Amino acid sequence: MRALKLKSCLATQIQALIDLRRVSGTDYQSQARLLGYFDRFLVEQNVSDPRDTREIIDAYQQSLGHLAPRTQQNRFSVVRQLCQYIVATDPLCYVPESLRTIRSTHDFRPYIYSPSEVQSLLAAASDLFPRNSLRPETYRTLLGLLYTTGIRIGESFDLNLEDFHCDEQRLYISEGKFRKSRWVPLSASTTHELHRYVENRLRMNPRAPDSPLFLNLRCRRLHHCNVHQTFRRLLEQGNIFDHKQKAPRIHDLRHAFAVHRLLAWYRDGQDVNARLPWLATYMGHVDILSTQVYLQPTAELLEQVDQRFHKHCLDHVKSHGGN
């Protein structure tokens, strides 16, 4: 796992907690990564008070609203652990109550973006302000990468310049979810767009190999809170969402990738069941069951399944001589 580069006003306390957990023999790598998200939040919000207050914790909890309930609880619980650690030496530190309930996700259905809607998002991203900055290209390339590869949004934020191997047409995901590193092959068109972005990105500091691939306007690594807010505006500009609806998530681009990949295999006549393990590996899943969560039955997908089943029945009848 890459060493966390903590920069917030609580960096010392966060690192001390991580070190304490590791010395005690606890496998704390996943939790350390989640504390890194909190550290970035503090930096992005310009928090300077070296003590957790109710206002800071409430603001962080609100910033997690776009995430799945289980993810919200995981991120919030490690921050609560941090507060409990700090309060031992600073009684004025605020310790929040734990999140008591997790809403059921059985009725949740992700939004599967159509190819035309993805194009609308990319067009809206190209019109972002400031026009003469790297920001429009950053969002256009980021959204295109998420849709064409299905990588997790957190994995895209963690990418460094050295992780893009243009000549080999692939990305290196270092320590993704479940601490699984993997190579992600890229299509020729995705490689071309990413290479074009990197050429412009290298005009900005920092340029070291281990510096962020995607930068915000302050030349720092992207943060989920700000990206989510910008993405919501792009949805509105692309006429994909209005205020009467629940906004689709940026994570739904990962769902769209999986569904459209499956749809392409059906249309090409491929053995889908044989290729599902490939998709699971590509998406960084530990098993096929995790991948199946992303395979939502769209109208186009159901049509392809129906056609294949119909063909199978006809072939079966013909092979038995119509009997």
Catalytic choice (51, 152, 182, 220): 152
Tell me if residue 224 is catalytic.
no
Tell me if residue 251 is catalytic.
yes
Catalytic choice (75, 249, 260, 285): 285
Distance from the Cα of residue 87 to its chain's centroid: 32
Catalytic choice (66, 249, 254, 260): 254
Catalytic choice (60, 113, 147, 294): 294
Tell me if residue 152 is catalytic.
yes
Tell me if residue 294 is catalytic.
yes
Catalytic choice (177, 220, 223, 232): 177
Catalytic choice (221, 251, 255, 261): 251
Tell me if residue 28 is catalytic.
no
Tell me if residue 66 is catalytic.
no
Catalytic residues: 152, 177, 251, 254, 285, 294
